[in-house]
Structure 1
Amino acid sequence: MDTEIFNFYLFIFLFCHVVGDYYFQTEKLAGEKENNYRKTGIHCILYAVPFLIFLIVYLLFPTLFHIPSPSNSEIFAVILAIAGIIISHAVIDLVKCRWIKNTAEFKIERQRNAYITDQVLHLIVILVAAAWLFVETTSDAAEIIISSADLYMGFKIVLFAAIILKPANISFKKIFSKYQPLKNESQNDETDKTTIAGAGATIGSLERLLMGFFMIINQFAAVGLIMTAKSIARYDKISKDPSFAEYYLIGTLYSILITLVAYLLIFRL
């Protein structure tokens, strides 16, 4: 149970981070905050919302379910952990914004490295906060949720889906954008019309959801069927365009990897 309580805090903070950093941030805001302090500040305020919601639920949960309320020291520890995550997130994003503003030519490689460094630092802070909170508190609410297998499993599934959807799509674009095939003169207007904007991201999201579903029900062999169906649909373009074939393979392997890592982290940790 002790390890599960640590995982519970880690999953809660990770879920709040994913919601605040990805789902509460529009594509427009994400682009504007890269070199704009005011937009970065707006993002940081929105980022704090899921954590504040968790804090409210944490304070009200004992009253709603008639269990012992947390002590003042435990409440202070939770507030301190949340404040640490929110403040550190703001500091990291503001430093990143300043670095981007001071960089004359912010190339693709630097964008990728900045994104990876940014997310790794956020995740380290979340890990430290969860570990510290686990040592400092003994939450009856956490034990009740964990002991309710259906409720806890439902939360894990929601977290799993939240990670492999929008964050996975954005991370792929940030990390592997330099491998995206460029349109060349041989691609005419008719060819361009066959590709719908956003279709690739939607396909990627659906394939990861299907893979995740099969992993949860322990049908790993069925993952191969998804890859086969996807390859058949893209066979003509794969066989005629080597650059697209390479990009397609990177995307496919990335989808498998991030879904598998998220599954192992959430359901096997």
Structure 2
Amino acid sequence: MTEQAIATALACLIAHLLADFVFQTNAMVAAKRKPGVLLLHGAIVFGLTTLALGGSLIPAALLALAHIAIDALKTYAVPERQRDRLWPYLSDQIAHLVSIAIFSFFLPNAFASGLWANHSSTLIPPALFIAGLITATLAGGPAVGGLMLPHKAQAQPDGLENAGRMIGLLERTLIFLMVMIGEPAGIGFLIAAKSILRFDTVKKNQKISEYVIIGTLASFGWALIAAFATKAAMNSF
């Protein structure tokens, strides 16, 4: 893949991650069966892609249409009780990534023809960092949640509403930052701290203990993969 195609793909990826994980609320996800909500999400994708590509309207419109089609397939084809599980989520995200790759292959100059073309060498490193951070943190939440969903009813620890989601977000953020600054050894202290804080909760119930262990390992693993992949990508530029 040429440098121009890589710049185009990265711009589209940033727009996708922002549209799906920053500017898409839980209420929008829940109401996406309504055509207006689905179209609103597509409009956000279009706007962010246009901005990321530096004003390339037609390429942004094509990618937004592909995004709407993929989301519509998941929304209307996957039963509602299955939609939040891991494989529908991963399949949906893989389909978006494939569409971005195909788009960048056939329209590699979409970024080069935009306003930011002369600044690509300056923009790529921070864009990679932002993409990696969103992937490690916000994109990891639905993945871990989808993995744990079948066990949630029988092993969900008592606690504050959405506390587990916030804890997972914070721990993935810390893991990502530790890897990026070259201090992955600090992750061991994070594991130890969480084990101590959770000890009294999990020792009383084996199901809760296994639920917490699996969720923690999945969250840590996701963040580590995203962080090391981001670091490797940044080191190549």
TM-score range, shorter-chain basis? 0.7 to 0.9
**Match 1:245 to one of 206, 209, 219:** 209
Amino acid at match of 1:266: T
Matches within 5 A, 1:1-269: 4-33=3-32, 35-55=33-53, 58-59=54-55, 79-100=57-78, 103=79, 106-108=80-82, 111-134=85-108, 141-142=116-117, 144-146=119-121, 148=122, 152-182=124-154, 192=158, 195-269=159-233
**Would the alpha carbon gap of residues 4 and 262 (structure 1) be closer, same or farther in structure 2, given more than 3 Å must change?**
farther
Which range is displaced more, 202-211 or 247-256?
Answer: 247-256
Report the TM-score when normalising by structure 1: 0.74
**Would the alpha carbon gap of residues 3 and 241 (structure 1) be closer, same or farther in structure 2, given more than 3 Å must change?**
farther
Richer in helix (by share)? 1
Amino acid at match of 1:97: T
| Whole-angstrom distance in 2 between the partners of 1:248 and 1:160 | 25
Report how far residue 183 of structure 1 moved: 6.5
Report the TM-score when normalising by structure 2: 0.83
* Higher-Rg member (1/2): 1
**Percent identity over the alignment?**
23
Q: CA RMSD in A?
A: 2.8
Report how far residue 125 of structure 1 moved: 0.5
Amino acid at match of 1:196: L
Report Cα offsets for 1:156-204 as digits up to 9, x if no partner.
Answer: 32222222222211232233311225369xxxxxx94xx1112111111
Report Cα offsets for 1:80-133 as digits up to 9, x if no partner.
Answer: 542332111111222333324xx5xx4337854433322211111112223333
| Whole-angstrom distance in 2 between the partners of 1:214 and 1:46 | 32
What stretches of structure 1 of length at least 5 have no aligned partner? Answer: 60-77, 185-190
Give the count of matched residue pairs: 232
